[in-house]
Amino acid sequence: MKLNYKTINIRLVIFSLLFCMLFYFPVFHHLERLPILMWDESLFSLRALYIHLTGNYLYNFNLFEGMPDHANTKLPFTTWFQVISFKIFGVSELALRLPIGLIFSLTVIYIVGHFKAQFSNIWAGFVFGFVSITSTGFVSTHMLRTGDQDAPFACYMLIAAIAFLQYLESRKWKPLLVFTFFSLAALLTKNLLAGLLAPGLLLFALLTRQLTGILKEYKFWFACFVIAGVYSGLVIYYEMQYPGFLKRMWNYELVGRFTNAIENHDKPPFFYLTDLAFNKFIPYFFFLPIVFSLAFAKNITKQLRHSILGISAVLFCYLFIISFSKTQTPWYIAPVYLLGAYIIALGAVVLFEYLYEQPKRFRTIFFLCLLPVSCLLYAQVLIKNLNPKPFLKDEKYGQFMEIIAKKKPALKHYTVADNNFGASARFYVEMYNLKETGYHISFQRSLQFNNNQLVMACLNNVINPINKRYYTEIIKQWEDCILLKVLSEKNIQIKTKEE
């Protein structure tokens, strides 16, 4: 069936506008509502803030006064986008998280254009976008909705994989340069975890009898030397600047996480598989073997077949290797969501070709049946992210500081006390002090205070010792957090955590 060119354009414009509206809410809506989260996001926020303020690499978080000795072993490629965002929009939760959403948005735009150019089917590109934004595991904290860097890493890995398959097909420089750039982007974001892209790509090249050919090409070796040279050169530079960097990165980021369970992140070998199938990538996970089987159908093109097999090989090898790592975290599977969404979009190419051959009534019934399922998948992601709340008390400092700023705007001088990890609270101290409104907030890990000192705390291991040791006056209280005034010390001997 042939459609009028103008009709197609109008339909595409209307659909694109509708898709952009649907895309906005899971990706960008209320990004700032959830405070900076404990651990990784808070560390990324401090690193971006330090580079924003000084222009220098943050090699240890104790460069912020009062923070514990905690070496930084993450490479800063994606952090630079967050630094640029800070410079444009100011220091805030939104400025930290916005680049993550923008990188993903550009990836979706690229994939839509890719499907139009490579498969003459722009609608399959929209399928990729829809599957991605309705994957509950991907549109969540520590992924797309926070300032962590696992979602950008997934974007880099996907584009690099696609570019390598295009290189195998064309043997031209352009896709190889794209592969080189995005492989480096992945390496300089998540270190050698990006190296797990290689086994699947090389396996596919071997099975399609192309491995020997590319090993004889100087272009391929040029790309390998550039990737290895830039990555190793940067690591060596950091080791020269900050002795011990390489050892810490090797033990904590690279081999150490594969051979040892770090920070209680030990899981059974099938943890990722069951989590994807029955929780975070449902129902899409069950479509993957169906699309994979389409690669063996006789009536599909060689390009489509190779794309399905190639990306499936990357997904399988990546998932297989991380499943046998001693350290298994829910965010290591970030690339699986986008690789899976791309495979499903490839299956959509075959589906749309089939539907185009069917009567209009059949297509109408099909899409009407699909509509309620799509709405349900979309709604569950919205509900999950509509009104998120912090899980840990350590993460409530930012919200309480905002309440104080609104309810008691004249109160600009006080101390934030946090003797736990402290990175989230420290970010907010710096954020408010950077405002040109007279804030002078200090950060303190010690539990010794002066008379008349205003102290904010959200942790029991801070609040309880204060109440035992000092007479206090409550200025403001909210949930687990309290702002109090230290009046005087009680005449009793109390052994604090610090002592």
CA distance 252 to 216: 36
Query: What integer pLDDT is reported at residue 256 of this predicted model?
Result: 65
Query: What integer pLDDT is reported at residue 267 of this predicted model?
Result: 79
Q: Could you state, in chain order, the average pLDDT of each consecutive group of 10 residues for the chain (499 residues)?
A: 54 92 96 94 96 93 88 92 97 98 98 96 97 97 96 98 97 97 97 94 97 96 97 94 89 71 73 94 97 94 97 97 87 97 98 94 95 97 88 94 95 95 95 92 95 96 95 95 95 53
Question: Is-cis flag, bond preceding 283, omega within 30?
Answer: yes
Residue type, 234: L
| CB 448, CB 470: distance < 8 Å | no
pTM of the predicted model as reported, rounded to 2 decimal places: 0.94
Place of tokens 């009534």: 361
**Residue 241 token pair:** 């600047």
Report DSSP letters for 98-150, one per residue. HHHHHHHHHHHHHHHHHHHHHHS-HHHHHHHHHHHHT-TTTSSTTTTTSS-SH
CB atoms within 10 A of CB 76: 21
∠ CA(210), CA(212), CA(213), 5° rounding? Answer: 65
3-state secondary structure of 485: strand
Report DSSP letters for 439-471, one per residue. -EEEEE------TT-EEEE--HHHHHHHHHHEE
Query: What integer pLDDT is reported at residue 303 of this predicted model?
Result: 95
In terms of DSSP H, where are the helices of 242-359? 245-252, 255-259, 271-275, 288-294, 302-323, 334-356
CA distance 62 to 58: 9
Report DSSP letters for 224-243, one per residue. HHHHHHHHHHHHHHHHHHST
With CA atoms as reference, report the closest residue to 135 among 122, 147, 144: 144
- Strand 413-417 and strand 454-457: the pairing is parallel
With CA atoms as reference, report the closest residue to 98 among 31, 179, 20, 176: 31
| CB 394, CB 418: distance < 8 Å | yes
Cα dihedral sign, 135-278-260-38: positive
Q: Give the CA distances from residue 387 to residues 11, 132, 378, 382, in Å, rounded to whole numbers and listed in that order.
A: 34, 20, 16, 9
| CB 125, CB 115: distance < 8 Å | yes
| CB 112, CB 129: distance < 8 Å | yes
Residue type, 480: D
CA distance 343 to 326: 28
Query: What integer pLDDT is reported at residue 492 of this predicted model?
Result: 60
β-sheet bridge partners, residue 456: 416, 483
Query: What integer pLDDT is reported at residue 389 of this predicted model?
Result: 86
CA distance 353 to 193: 37
Cα dihedral sign, 364-368-373-379: positive
| CB 104, CB 152: distance < 8 Å | yes
Query: What integer pLDDT is reported at residue 127 of this predicted model?
Result: 98
* Residues 6+ away with beta carbon under 8 Å from 314: 161, 197, 200, 201, 204, 339
For the chain, the residue count is 499
